[in-house]
Amino acid sequence: MSSQISSEQQPHVLRREFSLWSAFAFAFAFISPIVALYGIFGLALSAAGPSFWWGFLLVFAGQFLVALIFATLVSRWPLEGSIYQWSRRLLGTTYGWFAGWVYMWTLVIAMATVALGAAGFVANIIGIQEPSGGTLALIALVILLAGTAVNLIGRGALKIFMIGSIIAEVIGSVVLGTWLLLFHRQNSISVLFTGGGTDVDMLAYLTGPFMLAVAFIGWSFVGFESAGSIAEEVHEPRRDLPKAVLFSLAFIAVVVAYSSLAIILAIPDLGAVAEGAVADPVYDTLTTALGAGIAVPVEVLFVIGFLASFLALQTSASRVIWAYARDGGLPAAGALVRLRGKARIPVVAILVTTVVGSALFLLSIVAGDVYSLMVNFTAGGFYLAFLFPLVGFLVVLLRRAWTPAAFSLGRATLPVALVAVVWATLQFLNIAWPRVAFDQRYLDWSVWIGVVVLGVLGAALLASVRSRITGTDAVDDAEARDELADRR
């Protein structure tokens, strides 16, 4: 029996059209090196000076422990919705529901944030100088609609765009970084050890500016878990998804750290950047070194990276919504769970992300600095979502109730899980800490405001659907049958 026949016979089974390479490309694009670098470089450099670069190593080490646990979980439960599914099976329906609720909203808000970020580059490319908030929202809406169209066409179009984005990322990150290191180096490697200045106490620097930079860098190393969000669309998921999770994180870390090092060493005037006189150190460094003619091609590469990230975020968000609906965990679940066409795409779930994204763009016009609020919450939201399966896994291990799957850490499982929980907790608190960073004080409390609002709304919604949520056995059995059919 082929996987196609199996999928058509079962109304809520997706088609398996992604390979190991596709899953890796998906996770890679989710938080692309270009988006990761551009999004945090100026903030981290202003916060901690050039030595913020060492934060990449710290965050990668912590996140790799998280990735090891997620690789273990996806090997046991290769189910659409990842964090939602794992958490539910670890500590029950209510626990899993809130895990998915946080993760779903983090994905949707991140999707809208990335679209707004891309809008600025698109405006520059088409010649709009100093675009208004309304103009950026309109461009972001066009990006949203175009991305929705790609997602609705099918997985083939998605795979093609992801591969194109990787090529753009390699050119934009590795090739340009190498060129800067070879021909436009302005600073000594010693600047990486002088971020705090000679008159700054090392302990004060590490616990203050450096930890703020680490909070920003934390946004660069998320998205590896997204390979699990499309688990039921991947061939041989138990074998391939752990590899995709780990390899995507490692590859992104290498590319981002390498590109950042190249830009730091090529910045013409580090003092001006530290003083805030250079609003965009990445763009300024590239155009100074390579000439004004490189401006548009570089911005095109940036747009490709942002669009790929947007597509991966929208796909992940729609799959979490679909997984919820299959379990009866959302209102209108019957409509949300439907799969359309030969490709069996969750059309209604994708359209829901489009509607919510459009509403966030409108809100960004009428309610002030919503963009900063969304950026701040997104970073904290990912780490909070990560904590649900991490804590759940640790509890199950301590209860001696864990059954290892194909991918296992053996005797290292418990210590890795413990350190991963400690790391994710500290990083979440570091990101959510209400430091005075904005003129509007409420923006410093962005993460906590988001947590409270989502908690209240989630509790009310869960109470309305709790009695309709189905058990996990039916989904697990259907996935196992479909995976077996796919192997044949």
**Residue pLDDT, tens place only, 432-472:** 988 877 777 777 888 998 899 999 999 999 999 999 999 88
Q: What is the mean pLDDT of residues 275-294?
A: 81
Q: What is the mean pLDDT of residues 331-341?
A: 90
- Quick one: pLDDT band at residue 2, thresholds 50, 70, 90? very low
| Tokens linked to 423 | 């790391």
Q: Residues near 280 by Cβ (< 8 Å), separated by ≥ 6?
A: 42
Confidence at residue 386, expressed as pLDDT on a 0 to 100 scale: 97
Confidence at residue 220, expressed as pLDDT on a 0 to 100 scale: 86
Q: Residues near 391 by Cβ (< 8 Å), separated by ≥ 6?
A: 421
Confidence at residue 54, expressed as pLDDT on a 0 to 100 scale: 95
- Quick one: pLDDT band at residue 196, thresholds 50, 70, 90? low
Of 49-58, 95-104, 152-161, 196-205, which gets the smallest average pLDDT?
Answer: 196-205
Highest-pLDDT range among 210-214, 340-344, 458-462: 458-462
Q: What is the mean pLDDT of residues 285-295?
A: 81
Confidence at residue 3, expressed as pLDDT on a 0 to 100 scale: 39
Of 177-181, 299-303, 317-321, which gets the smallest average pLDDT?
Answer: 299-303
**Domain coordinates of the chain in residue numbers?**
20-468
Residue 100 CA to residue 384 CA, distance in Å, equals 11
Q: What is the mean pLDDT of residues 211-223?
A: 89
Amino acid at residue number 304: I
Superfamily holding 20-468:
Amino acid/polyamine transporter I (1.20.1740.10)
- Quick one: pLDDT band at residue 200, thresholds 50, 70, 90? low
- Quick one: pLDDT band at residue 427, thresholds 50, 70, 90? very high
Is the model more confident about 207 or about 468?
468
Average confidence score pLDDT of the chain: 87
Of 3-17, 82-96, 386-400, which gets the smallest average pLDDT?
Answer: 3-17
Cα of 369 vs its chain's centroid, Å: 22
pLDDT at 94 over 90: yes
Highest-pLDDT range among 117-121, 281-285, 328-332, 377-381: 328-332
pLDDT at 315 over 50: yes
Q: Residues near 52 by Cβ (< 8 Å), separated by ≥ 6?
A: 44, 45, 195, 209, 210, 213, 217
pLDDT tens digits for range 375-386: 778 889 999 999
- Quick one: pLDDT band at residue 355, thresholds 50, 70, 90? very high
pLDDT tens digits for range 158-193: 888 888 888 877 877 888 889 999 999 999 999 998
Q: Residues near 286 by Cβ (< 8 Å), separated by ≥ 6?
A: 176, 180, 263, 294, 295, 298
- Quick one: pLDDT band at residue 92, thresholds 50, 70, 90? very high
Q: What is the mean pLDDT of residues 389-406?
A: 95
| Tokens linked to 144 | 């949203």
Confidence at residue 9, expressed as pLDDT on a 0 to 100 scale: 47
Report percent pLDDT > 70 for the chain. 95
pLDDT at 1 over 50: no
Confidence at residue 194, expressed as pLDDT on a 0 to 100 scale: 77
Look up the pTM and report it: 0.91
What is the Cβ-side half-sphere exposure of residue 48, based on CA atoms within 13 angstroms? 27
Confidence at residue 419, expressed as pLDDT on a 0 to 100 scale: 98
Confidence at residue 259, expressed as pLDDT on a 0 to 100 scale: 92
Residue 348 CA to residue 368 CA, distance in Å, equals 30
Cα-trace Rg, the chain:
22
pLDDT at 6 over 50: no
User: How many residues are present in the chain?
Assistant: 488
Residue 186 CA to residue 295 CA, distance in Å, equals 20
- Quick one: pLDDT band at residue 4, thresholds 50, 70, 90? very low
